[in-house]
Amino acid sequence: MNPKINKPKLLIVEGRDEELFFDAALSNHLGLTDIQVMPIGGKTLLTNSLAALVTLAQFPIVQTIGVLRDADSPIGGGPITGAVISEAAKAFQSVCTSLRHVGLSCPAAHGQFAVGPPRVGVFIVPNGIDDGMLETLCVLSVSALPEFPCVDAYFQCLQGHQIVPNNLQKARAHAWLASRLEPDKRVGEAAQAGYWPWDADAFQDLWSFIRSL
């Protein structure tokens, strides 16, 4: 995490790829200049990163914090008696545990904000319900393009040979990116290059959350 706070609103993301993605979205689509994107180096480092954040001399200037996390890991949350808890629910509970550990408020649900100061919001990607990650939204944003069936055909062919990636959502995103003019970009680099359609329906709930910071 960047140890210096220089804006009144913080958007905490998992890593460098997400930092590039959201920096591009803020500057090239949302037009928001008062939000600082802070990568923490991985979801398991959230508690330690928040603990360091609240001790910074500049922390009193922070008005709002938004925490983004993927719903792609069983970390955190714990069992709920008589129910099967989703990865999205586990992720939300894990973020709330980290927030409370450092004395910050946790909102009642995904996509909402707790009163401050500072106000704190949590968004579990892709939508607070389904399993997934940033790549899930990126793939959805381009899935209606006429060339996208070629990507699905590629993976159908692989499955016919009993080849299945461990993370199909990431694999589909990178397969589509391999078709672009510069085929070796990661998701965040692709955002910087303008490869993702910012106005796609897939991103709209996420943009609404960020606009609410």
The answer to whether residue 3 is domain-embedded is: no
Number of structural domains the chain divides into = 2
Alpha helices (H) along the chain = 16-25, 46-53, 87-101, 134-142, 149-160, 168-177, 187-192, 204-211
- CA–CA dist 86, 77 (Å, integer): 10
* Pair (97, 160) in one structural domain: no
Mean of per-residue pLDDT scores for the chain: 93
The answer to whether residue 1 is domain-embedded is: no
* Banded model confidence at residue 33, pLDDT cuts 50, 70, 90: very high
pLDDT surpasses 90 at 79? no
Which residue range is the domain that position 49 belongs to?
9-133+191-211
Amino acid type, 9: K
The answer to whether residue 124 is domain-embedded is: yes
* Pair (202, 101) in one structural domain: yes
* Pair (70, 128) in one structural domain: yes
- CA–CA dist 139, 110 (Å, integer): 22
The answer to whether residue 83 is domain-embedded is: yes
* Pair (178, 196) in one structural domain: no
Residues 146-177 have pLDDT tens digits of: 999 999 999 999 999 999 999 999 999 999 99
* Pair (54, 147) in one structural domain: no
* Banded model confidence at residue 76, pLDDT cuts 50, 70, 90: very low
The answer to whether residue 2 is domain-embedded is: no
**pTM for the model:** 0.92
* Banded model confidence at residue 83, pLDDT cuts 50, 70, 90: low
Q: How many Cα atoms occupy the beta-carbon half-sphere of 26 within 13 Å?
A: 20
pLDDT surpasses 90 at 116? no
pLDDT surpasses 50 at 65? yes
* Pair (177, 202) in one structural domain: no
* Banded model confidence at residue 85, pLDDT cuts 50, 70, 90: confident
pLDDT surpasses 90 at 84? no
pLDDT surpasses 50 at 195? yes
- DSSP label of 118: S
* Pair (31, 123) in one structural domain: yes
- pLDDT mean over 86-96: 96
Provide the pLDDT for residue 5.
96
* Pair (110, 197) in one structural domain: yes
